[in-house]
A and B are shown apart, each in its own frame.
Chain A
Amino acid sequence: AQSVTQLDSQVPVFEEAPVELRCNYSSSVSVYLFWYVQYPNQGLQLLLKYLSGSTLVKGINGFEAEFNKSQTSFHLRKPSVHISDTAEYFCAVSDLGGGGNKLTFGTGTQLKVEL
């Protein structure tokens, strides 16, 4: 079974400051990793994904994440946030096997960007 831990339920940050949202996972098999963003009253939008290859993954809206297998982490970063980045961010994993391809989500981190 897989699990995802997002330790920070809320992260306040000032506009133009850097931010890191933490994600750790647990799995007995190799996994694929994802970050999704949810704006108020909207569905989930994929920010970025790690399937294989380079451990540094770049996504939309200037976000990037680094896969660290030894620390079982996939932290999300952005060097300079904007007010429009205020949203809920979900880390998710999917294991390599199985036909169902289900995503297991973390509890989410609310990013609040302030002026």
Chain B
Amino acid sequence: EPEVTQTPSHQVTQMGQEVILRCVPISNHLYFYWYRQILGQKVEFLVSFYNNEISEKSEIFDDQFSVERPDGSNFTLKIRSTKLEDSAMYFCASSELVTNREQFFGPGTRLTVL
């Protein structure tokens, strides 16, 4: 069964460093998302991406964040200058169509900022 994959599973970085989190969505999917879950808190929407552009973003997704689909398979989230409060589990998701509304989630990348 096709699945969303994410790398790395765990990333440790120093405050102020740039990180890139990578995702490979399901191959025929058209909509891509990033969510995050700070330890002990709810899963929060960051951004959605369709047709090579951002379709919606949350207040969390400020200028420090960017997304890109550099080729036909990868979808990346970049954090330019990490802060301690960026420590969280980051989930990538993809969906085939808007109409069926089902988003398939990857296993997540745990980001630890020291």
Contact = CB atoms under 8 A, between A and B. Distances in A.
Contact of A44 (B56, B58, B105): B105
Contacts, number: 64
B101 A105 contact: no
Given A42-B107, A44-B91, A108-B42, A102 B101 contact: no
A88 to B, nearest CB: 10
A49 B101 contact: yes
Interface in B56-114: 56, 58, 91, 93, 95, 98, 100-108
B41 A43 contact: no
A34 B4 CA distance: 19
Interface residues of B, number: 27
Interface in B14-49: 31, 33, 35, 41-45, 48
A103 B35 CA distance: 9
B103 A103 contact: yes
Nearest to A45: B105
A73 interface: no
A32 B99 CA distance: 11
A46 B105 CA distance: 9
B107 to A, nearest CB: 4
B40 to A, nearest CB: 9
16 contacts: A36-B105, A41-B107, A43-B4, A43-B91, A43-B107, A51-B100, A90-B42, A90-B43, A99-B55, A101-B31, A101-B55, A101-B103, A102-B56, A105-B44, A107-B41, A108-B42
Interface of B: 4, 31, 33, 35, 41-45, 48, 50, 55-56, 58, 91, 93, 95, 98, 100-108
